[in-house]
């Protein structure tokens, strides 16, 4: 087995397989759970507009940057940097990415575990009617319970591990070939159903009619950039790891734009799905993270055949979480596999166990460890903030510097595989100047808590 091509000779079977897997990484809890509540809190359509600008102006060019490092390096997050920049410290970007991936999956698996539990409650019919004390009390009782959420979180991680153990083509690619079309069908169905509800128009207006005065609020930009990074999976080398398994003939630019477009489409569809329901039942769109676990179940309960809608919704939430978790786990697995010289199975077992241990802390932070807080943030919030506000933007910044300034112009352009000279120049200007300036401003303001 050659050390030159990622994990042994493992490769994507087809370019479509790679694209579906990269879309699977991008489309996740970030689109369905995070996007609607962040958009709700930050001005609806105005937020969407700023978000779209960031995705296409900065997100997609940086995604191409990350992809190009992986495809040229043909190794895991750390190995690719070592190969392209031997005897330098650039590989620390990869190490930070591996740590970031472990942290994100630690808290991601907590929310994914809740989603599987909710799915189970809908399948058994337990949540078809409002539980005693209401959905809010039920959610609180559930997340503060010390043991039960850990079981569902472990179950989610085990499923993720079993798929990753099977490798790229037969594991991750195959799973995404099923998950992504399935997810698209279910989400389109749900958004379509949402539009038939009375009062749906108000939800659509909230999502699509901008309030220009909100553009003066700096927080909207901060939230939109963080969401764009999280949603496109940029900055921690998960996408880099995926692109290291590409065949030479599979070109990057079209795939990158495809991933950006699909991720945005899924976020908009999720927004339509959630806000049509929220407005038709007269609920505040700004209710924050519990939107999906408290507000939607209350809405489903008062809908005709709401129990079935609940089943569909939580199936799609679990599918979206799983397709992203695959890439979050592959990132440390590829690194551990190469550096420790272990089999893929052993590397997966080690990475999965580390993640579960951190995940236990994130889960207990809602209950018996809820006294562990910094500035009102519990353990999960801290992991979320550290990764979304610091590690992802910093990783993106370092990769922009690496390709834009460390590599020669010719190498950067060659690795990006952009053919049009005009686009080459635009891309270079963005990764050399625009992205670093915007990222620095946003990171500094968020670090200073402005
Ligand atoms: N993009 C995923 C989501 O929207 C989260 C994620 C972040 C997945 C970084 C992978 C990754 O490398 O839910």
Portion of the chain with pLDDT greater than 90, in percent: 69
How far apart CA 151 and CA 113 sit, in angstroms, is 8
Lowest mean pLDDT segment, chosen from 13-17, 91-95, 198-202 = 198-202
**Most confident segment among 9-23, 152-166, 285-299:** 152-166
Q: Which residue's CA lies nearest to atom 11 of ligand 1?
A: 233
How do residues 178-206 score in pLDDT, each as one tens digit?
999 999 999 999 999 889 988 889 989 98
28 lines ligand 1 (CB under 6 A): yes
Q: How far is CA 437 from CA 176, 308, 400, 449, in A?
A: 35, 48, 11, 18
Give, using CA atoms, the residue closest to atom 9 of ligand 1.
233
More confident residue, 2 or 204: 204
What is the pLDDT confidence band of residue 8, given thresholds at 50, 70 and 90?
low
Other CB atoms within 10 Å distance of the CB of residue 363: 29
* Angle, CA of 366, 328 and 85, to the nearest 5°: 130
ipTM for the complex shown = 0.98
Predicted local distance difference test score (pLDDT) of residue 445: 77
Distance from C-alpha of 373 to C-alpha of 376, rounded to nearest angstrom: 6
The answer to whether the CB of 227 is under 6 A from ligand 1 is no
pLDDT tens for residues 333-366? 999 999 999 999 999 999 999 999 999 999 999 8
Q: Decide whether any atom of ligand 1 lies within 6 Å of the 23 Cβ.
A: no
CA of 391 to the centre of ligand 1 (A): 13
All domains of the chain, ordered by start, with CATH? Answer: 15-447 (1.10.4160)
User: What's the start-to-end Cα distance of the chain, in Å?
Assistant: 51
Q: Which pLDDT does position 6 carry in this prediction? A: 43
What is the spatial distance between Cα 234 and Cα 393, in angstroms, rounded to a whole number?
8
Instruction: Determine the distance separating the centroid of ligand 1 and the alpha carbon of 116, expressed in angstroms.
Output: 18
- Does residue 447 surpass a pLDDT of 80? no
What atom in ligand 1 is closest to the CA of residue 232?
A: 1
Residue 26's alpha-carbon distances to 264, 321, 358, in angstroms, are: 9, 10, 23
Query: Counting atoms of ligand 1 from 1, which one is nearest the CA of 233?
Result: 9
Q: How confident is the model at residue 226 (pLDDT cuts 50, 70, 90)?
A: confident
In this structure, the dihedral spanned by the alpha carbons of residues 195, 287, 120 and 106, taken in order and rounded to 10 degrees, is 120
**What is the Å distance from ligand 1's center to 229 Cα?**
8
pLDDT (average), residues 18-38: 92
Q: What angle do CA 220, 25, 355 make, to 5 degrees?
A: 95
What is the pLDDT, as a whole number, of residue 7?
A: 47
Q: Does any ligand 1 atom lie closer than 6 A to the CB of residue 149?
A: no
**Tokens linked to 332:** 């440390």
230 lines ligand 1 (CB under 6 A): yes
The CA distance from 77 to 228, in Å, is 21
- Extended strands (E) in 182-272: none
pLDDT digits (tens, 9 = 90+) for 232-267: 999 999 999 999 999 999 999 999 999 999 999 999
For the Cβ of 260 lying below 6 angstroms from any atom of ligand 1, the answer is no
Arithmetic mean of pLDDT, 320-338: 97
Does residue 50 have its Cβ closer than 6 Å to ligand 1?
no
| Ligand 1 site-directed mutation target among 22, 27, 76, 104, most atoms within 8 Å of CB | 104
Which burial class, exposed, middle or buried, applies to 36 when counting CB atoms under 10 A from its CB (0-12, 13-18, 19+)? buried
Query: Cα(26) to centroid of ligand 1, in Å?
Result: 5
Distance between CA 214 and CA 74 in Å, rounded? 44
**Contact 259 CB / ligand 1 (< 6 Å):** no
């Amino acid at each position: 087995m050659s050390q030159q091509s990622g994990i042994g000779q493992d490769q994507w079977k087809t370019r479509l397989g790679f694209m579906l897997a990269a879309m699977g990484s991008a489309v996740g809890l970030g689109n369905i759970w995070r996007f609607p509540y962040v958009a709700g809190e930050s001005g609806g359509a105005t937020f969407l507009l700023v978000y779209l600008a960031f995705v296409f102006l900065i997100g997609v060019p940086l995604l191409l940057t990350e992809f190009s490092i992986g495809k040229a390096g043909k190794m895991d997050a750390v190995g690719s940097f070592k190969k392209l920049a031997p005897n330098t410290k650039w590989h620390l970007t990869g190490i930070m990415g591996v740590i970031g991936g472990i942290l994100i999956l630690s808290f991601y698996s907590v929310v994914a575990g809740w989603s599987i539990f909710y799915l189970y409650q809908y399948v058994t019919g337990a949540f078809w009617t409002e539980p005693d004390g209401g959905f809010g009390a039920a959610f609180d009782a559930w997340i503060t319970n010390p043991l039960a959420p850990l079981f569902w979180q472990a179950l989610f991680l085990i499923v993720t591990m079993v798929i990753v153990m099977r490798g790229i083509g037969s594991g991750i690619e195959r799973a995404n070939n099923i998950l992504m079309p399935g997810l698209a069908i279910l989400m389109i169905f749900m958004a379509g159903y949402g539009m038939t509800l009375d009062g749906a128009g108000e939800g659509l207006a909230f999502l699509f009619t901008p309030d220009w005065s909100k553009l003066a609020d700096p927080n909207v930009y901060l939230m939109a950039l963080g969401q764009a990074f999280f949603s496109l999976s940029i900055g921690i080398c998960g996408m880099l790891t995926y692109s290291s398994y590409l065949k030479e003939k599979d070109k990057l630019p079209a795939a990158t734009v495809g991933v950006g477009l699909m991720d945005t489409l899924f976020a908009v569809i999720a927004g339509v799905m959630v806000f049509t329901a929220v407005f038709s039942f007269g609920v505040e769109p700004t209710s924050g993270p519990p939107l999906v676990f408290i507000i939607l179940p209350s809405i489903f309960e008062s809908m005709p055949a709401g129990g079935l809608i609940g089943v569909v919704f939580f199936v799609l939430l679990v599918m979206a979480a799983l397709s992203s978790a695959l890439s979050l786990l592959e990132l440390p697995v590829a690194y551990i596999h190469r550096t420790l010289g272990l089999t893929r199975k052993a590397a997966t077992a080690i990475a999965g166990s580390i993640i579960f241990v951190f995940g236990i802390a994130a889960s207990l932070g809602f209950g018996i460890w809820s006294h562990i807080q910094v500035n009102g943030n519990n353990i999960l919030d801290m992991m979320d903030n550290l990764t979304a506000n610091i590690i992802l933007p910093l990783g993106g910044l370092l990769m922009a510097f690496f390709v834009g300034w460390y590599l020669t112009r010719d190498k950067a352009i060659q690795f990006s595989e952009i053919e049009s000279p005009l686009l080459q120049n635009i891309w270079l200007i963005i990764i050399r100047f625009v992205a670093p300036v915007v990222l620095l401003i946003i990171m500094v303001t968020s670090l200073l808590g402005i």
